[in-house]
Amino acid sequence: MLLDPDLIYVEYDGTLLRKTEYIANLLSPSLRPAKIVSESMKVHVYREFAVVNGVYQENGLKKGKPYSVRVRFTDTWLRRDQTWVCVASQSTPLG
């Protein structure tokens, strides 16, 4: 319910995913995050829109192999019918 039906997600490698594709990736048995820790987050509200920027660290197993990544993200939220929904999200791995 937090994701808009028209959500666009830009994956690390530049791939564009729609809501159903994004959710399928999250639920994929090949991805097993063990830990996701937020380092920072800032929210800027502009009337009916909000932009959230932050950094998080994630580690776990992907396709059976250990992974660890530090990511900067930007999420764009829209207030619709007294509820905030995410309409766009983008992630970029850091060093």
Over residues 7-33, the pLDDT tens digits come to: 999 988 899 999 999 999 889 888 899
Distance in angstroms (rounded) separating the CA atoms of residues 25 and 84:
23
Distance in angstroms (rounded) separating the CA atoms of residues 11 and 75:
12
- Band (1; pLDDT cuts 50, 70, 90): confident
**What pLDDT does residue 95 have?**
76
**CATH number among 3.10.450.50, 3.40.50.720, 3.40.50.1220, 3.20.20.140, domain 3-93:** 3.10.450.50
Q: How far is C-alpha 15 from the chain's CA centre?
A: 13
- Band (84; pLDDT cuts 50, 70, 90): very high
Break the chain into its structural domains and give their ranges. 3-93
Question: What average pLDDT does this structure show over 51-74?
Answer: 95
